[in-house]
A and B are shown apart, each in its own frame.
Chain A
């Protein structure tokens, strides 16, 4: 909008119709651009990059410095934290004393390997010929006990829901109690030092459920 001053009065003058039309066209064009989907990269992009990464030699001193410099996401002030802290303590105490068996359990559908809230993931194996399957990994000390997978008749797959904290995990499937099978759906794997490969799972803060 432009203004014209005539003596003591002033009024806004509309831009020429052509300019308004041009603005509308450019706005519409930017809208179409925003909607262009883009192409999904091929799977081998990620695997190709990870297989080409060389080892990073980091001295202990540098490691310590990097740890000291790593940002921590903490947002709290003493004034704000105090009443919430007291309320949380009172609530926990009330829950504890009202429930003799202990604090409330996390969602029991997901075998939890941590008392902290994590991300729900489902490890899945397509192997209909097996009579049993379990998941072993660095999150359960490589022990299948308590991590037996359930056969889903509808999906025709073995599934195990897990609740994992954000981080990096190595795992494999233990089939029929004796065969170690890497996860064919895993994008990353690592030599286990014993002649076979562990699958690698990286859990981010997804905020939801993820099926692997």
Chain B
């Protein structure tokens, strides 16, 4: 669906034809669901939050600026809902997964002794992606999995174009580091000490 088709559907919804909204839901439910799944690690929470995101977008459709792409606007609503959800969870002392942050990047950009090239399993990369902080993880997911242009990535994340570019580049470097560290961990033999 191109942007003019999208604008027509939105205009129909705003005129009171609520059922036309199904077209937008069908179009964007997969990326929104995957966003929520990445944020919450729970299919049940992801389903609830995805529905909440679409309902909130529907209720605030008058605030959407026609002429601009719809998905980044919808995505930003979804991301904020997910962040609020996680903040409440943290407040209730529920488990929060550790995340790799920018400060953990090596100061040198030279590759470590061990090369990452060779077989990079998709599952391995998908697991490593989930270890990044949401800021970097979402930048990579939007740019590469959803194949959005950088301008749309910037709009989704509330960044400037150069900010989005930087976020994606750093995110890739951080992901690489996570993968290397995981491989190093697997190779290092573990010593188990049994105390009698």
Contact = CB atoms under 8 A, between A and B. Distances in A.
Given A36-B145, A70-B8, A29 B176 contact: yes
Contacts of A26: 172-173, 176
A40 B25 contact: no
Interface stretch (B50-58, B95-103, B154-162, B182-190): B50-58
B14 A56 contact: yes
A46 B16 contact: no
B110 A19 contact: yes
A42 B59 CA distance: 23
Contact of A32 (B18, B26, B120, B173): B120
B65 to A, nearest CB: 12
B34 interface: yes
A202 B7 contact: no
Given A28-B120, A38-B145, A202-B19, A53 B4 contact: no
Given A32-B120, A36-B122, A70 B33 contact: no
A205 to B, nearest CB: 7
B15 A67 contact: yes
B30 A28 contact: no
Main secondary structure of the interface of B (DSSP, over half): helix
A53 B111 contact: no
A163 B20 CA distance: 20
B37 A39 contact: yes
B125 interface: yes
A73 B109 CA distance: 49
Given A26-B172, A58-B15, A71-B4, A45 B51 contact: yes
Interface in B110-146: 110-111, 115-117, 120, 122, 125-126, 129, 140-141, 144-145
Q: How large is the interface on A (under 10, 10 to 19, 20 to 34, 35 or more residues)?
A: 35 or more
A25 B117 CA distance: 6
A204 B173 CA distance: 41
A22 B173 CA distance: 9
A56 B18 contact: yes
Given A52-B55, A53-B55, A25 B111 contact: yes
A46 B26 contact: yes
Contacts of A205: 1, 5
Nearest to A18: B110
Given A66-B11, A70-B7, 19 more contacts: A18-B110, A26-B172, A26-B176, A28-B117, A36-B125, A42-B43, A45-B50, A49-B21, A49-B54, A58-B14, A63-B16, A67-B11, A69-B11, A70-B8, A71-B66, A168-B17, A202-B19, A202-B20, A202-B23
Interface of B: 1, 4-5, 7-8, 11, 13-23, 25-26, 29-34, 37, 43, 47, 50-51, 54-55, 58-59, 66, 109-111, 115-117, 120, 122, 125-126, 129, 140-141, 144-145, 147, 172-173, 175-176, 179
